[in-house]
Amino acid sequence: MNKYVVCFAIALSTMSTAYAQGTVLKGMDFGPLAKLAGTWRTVAAGGLDVAPGQVGSRVGTGNPAVEPYYEQLTFEPAADATNASDQYLVAMAYTLKVFRKRDNKQFHDQRGYLIYDKKNQTVYDSFCIPRAVCVVAEGKAGDKMTLTSKSNGVAESQYMLKNDATSVFSITFDMTGDTLKYAQKTQLHVYGKSFTHVDSSALSKAS
């Protein structure tokens, strides 16, 4: 009986080691983020953006404007860091380029990092967009995870604070199966009222 217990323990240890090796890139353990490395492109159905309408738009100022889109998202292992001699992190750098379906023009660019804290099983999404806005959202690591900005999690210019302020950002990732799905919400105060800006899409790995 003991022989079988020992064999089972060895098998479990081997499986654990194999899993760990599968998540190690450039000598760093990225946990559930490891599968993201590479380039992803929107599936045929495309993504959907619901943003506040601009002044003079056909939907009217501040009303929901729906824009179908496609995108390219590239992840690359970047570096590790230790905060306050205690919190060890590994960072997966990413670039996101988003294009309108109707005219193929790029209308969004995003640069950031998905950062993994293995000890505390936490993931951070730290990014900036060229509107003078940067965000840090955080949550529990996993193949499905929701990351939300906390206090002081949004930095933006004085103009944006006065005219198009972001109070909360959240994004949900689903990395199960062969696709990467996400849905995100950005709570804004724009044109004198609150607006929930939403984006959702599904991507498949291209390389």
Residue ranges of the domains in the chain?
A: 28-205
13-22, 55-64, 95-104, 123-132: segment of lowest average pLDDT: 13-22
Is the pLDDT confidence value at 32 over 70? yes
Is the pLDDT confidence value at 159 over 70? yes
Banded model confidence at residue 21, pLDDT cuts 50, 70, 90: low
Tell me which fold the domain 28-205 belongs to: Lipocalin (2.40.128)
Residue 132's contacts (CB-CB under 8 Å, 6 or more residues apart) are: 156, 157, 159, 160
Dihedral sign computed on CA atoms, order 169, 97, 45, 76: negative
Q: What does the alpha-carbon distance between residue 150 and residue 144 come to, in Å, rounded to a whole number? A: 19
- Of residues 58 and 9, more confidence is placed in 58
Q: Which amino acid is residue 114, in one-letter code?
A: L
Q: What is the number of alpha carbons within 13 Å of residue 146 lying toward its C-beta? A: 7
Average pLDDT, the chain: 92
- The predicted pLDDT at position 177 comes to 80
Q: Which amino acid is residue 35, in one-letter code?
A: K
- The predicted pLDDT at position 108 comes to 98
Backbone angles phi, psi at 46, to 5 degrees: 80, 175
